[in-house]
Structure 1
């Protein structure tokens, strides 16, 4: 078993020292006796005397050497004891120092933990106070927004705006409140309420422009079923905006807007401007109704466009670019319609669509399939210098006015099965198109 430094030292008994001295004396006596016997064997008296003297000297030397050895052993033991005591003292001092350090570290850890606890309590108290203050401000602003007086409601709008500007975490809630306010039905013929609602619209759009310091990123508009008046989102960045079922009076503008995610616009528009709109959003105009002019000139639609069963009074898509499939199935175009220089990089479908007035596809480019089956063209229809790089299908279409494909480029002969055109005006058909007279009023186009 290994001994430790703090093991108690054993005291040397007195008899052990006495035994050592007796052994030394006995050893000296034995040596002296042996040497004297050897000296007595000498024949001459003088020689014998000299040898006895040498024997006595040698015996005393042995006794003295043995005693010196014992003294040296005792001195070595004292040195060992002294060194052991010093090591013990050093070990005890080290243990004391380590203990003091542990106590100090523990005291510091306890103090630091107490400090952190106090800081957390202070932060929690500060956070609770801030949250209470925000809640009070928010509640007060909402109460102002629900006041009967228009001026007070305007103050509530600006209070909410200020609250959102100073507290980014509250912006989604504030935007949701403003959108809910616009979704509420307004009183009839109240000019003051109209001004309040226009202000709410401006508060929303003011923070949707990414190039402005007051931009609120990530804001989503839910204006489904809202009543809007002159809604201007021009230059805004819109993410997942929903205007489904909204009624938009005046001119609604998305000119120069950047759209992401999903843009649902199945609303009623008095007039609309989408010029230079860009982005990869999926744009849904299904069921939308435009009672006045609409313009999509130079729009760059990166996502899909669905405009099924929509209604346009007068619309222009001049220079627009569609990167994904575009569908106008069942859509009615009531007045002049222009797709001049439009580019369809993916498929275009206008099946069962109705064009009540002039429609122009001059210099339009169809990079993929273009479907015009069962489409009714009541007025003049122009495909001059248009480029059809994929299949084109006009099966069962009806042309009630003049049709011109002059200088149009087609990669293959279009399908025109049973399409009809009025016989009273001249037409310019693609090369190789078979045209026969059906009766006095109509011509029929055949795939042969």
Structure 2
């Protein structure tokens, strides 16, 4: 505040006091009595001084209030400046910490990248070394290569798919005949594959897919394994190939040549294809529970057994050739089954089987005794143009609809038991 403004205030206070004093003295002089006039003059002087003092006090209060306001404003300014300084320091600190953290993360990424590169180089060296061992001329060295690959896959899950592909490729390679050492190497490779396909084992490798197309296998044992998309198309499987108790998903292609194939207690929803397969011994699906389609088109099978098997989807045996016998005793076909143009040279047993939907046996050739005793047909049963070259019995069989048997033929010499209502007539002497 400029000094002259304070001076003007004081002059205004003095002037106001003088004017009040002058007016009051003038009023006091109008009194008639000298004593009264003197008293009034004293009161006038006191009042004038009071006005001056009050005006001065008001100015002093105004100055004090202004000083207080200025002090509070200064304090708020100081607090705002302090807050801004604190916020600036915090921003600087946060920026510094961010830069430090970014630098640390960069260093960590560099360290991780260096470690990853080192690990990849180490894996590549181990993988390359194992593959080189697998390609060695010495059978013992090849065995070491197999175990090196297995150990590499066990310790590095990301490499398992590649390692399985290498083992399958090895089994697909042509094998020298009458080489006992190479046969042992191949059996070891098979065991390495199947050892990691059992879920109840700590060494289980999930999601493994087997591509064994055209491979030569000997006693391939995948019992209890979990198979995803296994392909044995064109493979030659000596000994007994076992999938007993296995769980299958995706597609299971078995269009191969087998000595014996055991699929007892097989489970899963895989589409199983035995199309064009050749089984010189026995194939067994006893007690299997198959939720996917089963196809055996044009397969050549010596003996087949599907005792108590449950097939939830369509089962197709069109043009299949059973050179000895086949049995579906107590089997359950919840969907359609087709054996059109199939040939069964020996016994064909469907005793107590259940057909939940369409059952097609058109142009089917039954060469020996055929039994549908106690079978149950919940859908259409079609035996049109089928041939029975041995005795056939439908004793105790039940049909939801009359079976279709147009142009079916059977031998005259053998005793037959036909479904009720079937019309039988002689065609010729045989």
Give the shorter-chain TM-score range.
over 0.9
What residue is the counterpart of 1:183 in the other structure?
A: 172
Shift of the alpha carbon at 1:331?
A: 0.4
Change in CA separation of 1:27 and 1:237 when aligned onto 2, cut-off 3 Å: same
Q: Any idea what SS the aligned residue of 2:424 has? A: strand
Residue 236 of structure 1, aligned match among 210, 220, 225: 225
1:429 corresponds to which residue? 418
Output the TM-score relative to the length of structure 1: 0.92
- Offset, 1:315: 1.8
Counterpart check, 1:274 vs 2:257: no
Q: How does 1:401-440 map to 2 (within 5 A)?
A: 401-440=390-429
Q: Distance in 2 between matches of 1:49 and 1:256?
A: 136
What residue in structure 1 maps to residue 130 of structure 2?
A: 141
Pair 1:26-2:23 in alignment: no
Matched, 1:120 2:113: no
In the aligned structure 1, how far is the partner of 2:309 from the partner of 2:193? 28
Instruction: Specify the alignment match of 1:4 in structure 2.
Output: none
Rounded Cα–Cα distance in structure 2 between residues aligned with 1:77 and 1:37 = 38
1:247 to 236, 240, 252: 236
Deviations 1:193-221 (A, max 9, x none): 11111111000000111111111111111
**Which of 385, 392, 397 is the aligned partner of 2:386?**
397
Residue 195 of structure 1 corresponds to 184
Cα distance in 2, alignment partners of residues 294 and 148 from structure 1: 37
Go from structure 1 to structure 2 and tell me whether the alpha carbon gap of 1:338 and 1:75 turns closer, same or farther (over 3 Å shift): closer
How far off its partner does 1:46 sit? 4.1
| Corresponding residue of 1:225 | 214
TM-score normalized by the length of structure 2 = 0.96
SS of match in other structure, 1:303: coil
1:68 and 2:49 aligned: no
Q: Which shows bigger deviation, 155-164 or 352-361? A: 352-361
Question: Which residue of 2 is the match for residue 86 of structure 1?
Answer: 75
> Aligned pair 1:332/2:321, yes or no?
yes
User: Aligned-residue CA RMSD in angstroms?
Assistant: 1.6
Return the alpha-carbon distance in structure 2 between the equivalents of residues 47 and 64 of structure 1: 25
Per-residue CA deviation, residues 145-170 of structure 1 (Å, 9 max, x unaligned), is 11111111111110110111111111
* Deviation, structure 1 residue 404: 1.9
User: CA 1:311–1:55 in 2, change beyond 3 Å: closer, same or farther?
Assistant: same
Q: Where do 5+ consecutive residues of structure 2 fail to align?
A: none
Q: Cα deviation per residue 1:128-161 (whole Å; 9 max; x = unaligned)?
A: 2212211111111111111111111111110110
* Residue aligned with 1:293, SS: strand
Distance 1:294 1:67, change over 3 A: closer
Q: What SS class does the counterpart of residue 213 from structure 1 fall into? A: coil
Matched, 1:163 2:179: no
Determine if the alignment matches structure 1 residue 354 to structure 2 residue 343. yes
Residues 87-144 of structure 1 show CA distances to partners (whole Å, capped at 9, x for unaligned) of 2222222222222222222222222222222222222222222122111111111111
Gaps of 5+ in 1: 1-11, 442-448
Q: Indicate the SS of the match to 2:44.
A: helix
2 CA distance for matches of 1:65 and 1:432? 136
Distance between the aligned counterparts of 1:414 and 1:138, measured in 2?
Answer: 63
Deviates more, 1:417-426 or 1:264-273: 417-426
Select the residue among 372, 375, 381 that pairs with 2:361. Answer: 372
Q: Distance in 2 between matches of 1:66 and 1:405?
A: 134
Alignment: residue pair count: 430
